[in-house]
Amino acid sequence: MSRRSGVNFEAPAPRFSQRRRWASRQAISFLMQQGVENPDVVSLAAGLVDPQTLPIEATQIAIEQLLTDTKRAREALQYGTTLGAETLRRQLLNHLARLEGCQVEDLGIASGQLVLTTGSQQLLSLVGEVLMDPGDICLVAAPTYFVFLGVLEGLGARTIPVATDADGMCIDALQTQLEQLDAEGLLERVKLIYLVSYYENPSGVSLAEQRRREVVELVRRWSERNRIFVLEDAAYRELRYDGPNLPSIWSYDSGRDFVILAQTFSKSYSPGLRVGYGVLPRTLAEPICDRKGNEDFGSANLNQHLVAKVLEEGLYAGHVAKLRASYLAKRDNMLAAAEKYFHDLPGVRWVQPHGGLYVWMTLPESIDAGFDGELFRQAVKVEKMMYVPGDLCFPGPPDDRPRNHIRLSFGVEDPGGIELGMRRLANAIRAVI
């Protein structure tokens, strides 16, 4: 008898999979809910892009051209392939060559090693799926991109933090970790080193050029028995405002054997299209494609054709230039506001990023900036501003994580909002210090 027919029937609880039991409630959901429940807050938390610079016009032009060409319109509205539209994958070889400053022939890859995904997030997830068994190890910078920490947790993988400084992950510390794991007989469980190589979310730091070379040499050296891959997440690569134009880690992997390069059009064009891509070592192309076949047998084909058109028609470069100028100004707004409101707060310091969307701020150790701490409550409920607690970005048991960091984004708010949010944050900190 059913509930709705009025008889008291309680269906027994489902027995979920082990994976479901590993999955944690996502912090991002909590943050979004806070946003919904507190609509008047100034959000320096959201990882969204700037709404003002979204490419409405370029998209109008590209989609109109695509849909008025009947042959291409039919291709775009039909099923595509699991790897993704060949027309975009060919364009991406050119795009990648431009970013790498080389000729397409010198990339040393075929278009079959490019896979188009639902944002680069899906690539990160797919790499985890084909490589990681429960208990397998991924080494990450501390702090790092918290959504990927959730992916690893959901796989039952073990995530080991490696010390970082202003030049990104410390290669010496990485070497020491590997030696220790080897001594413990765990080297064969090490599958992956995850590195957000440009303007890391959340720290804003980029891996220094010399370390890029070193990390490739290191995985090669430590892969004697079992290949260790580097997963290079270059999501923010094209959002460079100043500082050096760094080569990718991938560029140092001359045999294309060890580095998986994840990139996306979410930050540099539009996240609503969810077009990301991976550049894969040959040996991973088939496993990733098979797995993606089971998950969705291909991301949205229309969007891939649309991005191809945007690239083809030369609409992309101008848009990225415009974006950079806009974000550069907003970054400077945030840094100026930080200087203005925080310079006299003892023990508060922050990173000055050369690109990306985030400013990482360190508070006095006595301050707990977490969801349950006094600062978050003061910021959201009293001052009406929101940030991302930094402890989310560290792996490991909650009690072992530093809790005195926060991630601030200049992505969504306009300059006035950034200034206001920073002033409110300073007030909140003063109130709890």
- With contacts defined by CB under 8 A, name the span among 25-33, 199-207, 241-249, 357-365 that binds a second copy: 25-33
How are beta strands 114-118 and 385-386 bridged, if at all? unpaired
- With contacts defined by CB under 8 A, name the span among 46-54, 160-168, 194-202, 413-421 that binds a second copy: 46-54
Instruction: Determine if 116 is a binding residue for a second copy (CB under 8 A).
Output: no
Instruction: Determine if 415 is a binding residue for a second copy (CB under 8 A).
Output: no
User: Which tokens go with 123?
Assistant: 């690539």
CA dihedral 143→146→151→154, nearest 10 degrees, is 90
Instruction: Determine if 67 is a binding residue for a second copy (CB under 8 A).
Output: yes
Residues 84-113 that bind a second copy (CB under 8 A): 108
Closer to a second copy by Cβ: residue 17 or 366: 17
With beta carbons less than 8 A apart as the criterion, state whether 98 and 314 touch: no
Residues 226-285 that bind a second copy (CB under 8 A): 226-227, 229, 253-258, 266, 270-274, 281, 283-284
Residues 4-23 that bind a second copy (CB under 8 A): 4-5, 9, 11-20, 23
Instruction: Determine if 191 is a binding residue for a second copy (CB under 8 A).
Output: yes
Judged by CB under 8 A, the residue of 43, 91, 113, 118 near a second copy is 118
d(CA 274, CA 246): 25
d(CA 418, CA 224): 49
- Residues near 401 by Cβ (< 8 Å), separated by ≥ 6? 391, 394
3-state secondary structure of 355: strand
Residues 163-182 that bind a second copy (CB under 8 A): none
Instruction: Determine if 119 is a binding residue for a second copy (CB under 8 A).
Output: yes
With beta carbons less than 8 A apart as the criterion, state whether 126 and 292 touch: yes
User: Which tokens go with 235?
Assistant: 């999501």
d(CA 229, CA 182): 16
Judged by CB under 8 A, the residue of 105, 184, 224, 344 near a second copy is 224
Judged by CB under 8 A, the residue of 181, 300, 420, 422 near a second copy is 300
With beta carbons less than 8 A apart as the criterion, state whether 395 and 142 touch: yes
Closer to a second copy by Cβ: residue 295 or 312: 295
DSSP H/E element including 173: helix 171-183
Instruction: Determine if 343 is a binding residue for a second copy (CB under 8 A).
Output: no
Listed residue (150, 169, 147, 154) closest to 47, CA to CA = 147
- With contacts defined by CB under 8 A, name the span among 217-225, 336-344, 388-396, 420-428 that binds a second copy: 217-225
CA dihedral 182→184→190→196, nearest 10 degrees, is -90
Judged by CB under 8 A, the residue of 34, 99, 154, 182 near a second copy is 154
Binding mask 302-341 for a second copy (x = CB under 8 A): xx-x------------------------------------
How many residues sit close enough to a second copy to count as binding (CB under 8 A)?
Answer: 104
Judged by CB under 8 A, the residue of 42, 45, 80, 193 near a second copy is 80
How are beta strands 114-118 and 275-279 bridged, if at all? antiparallel
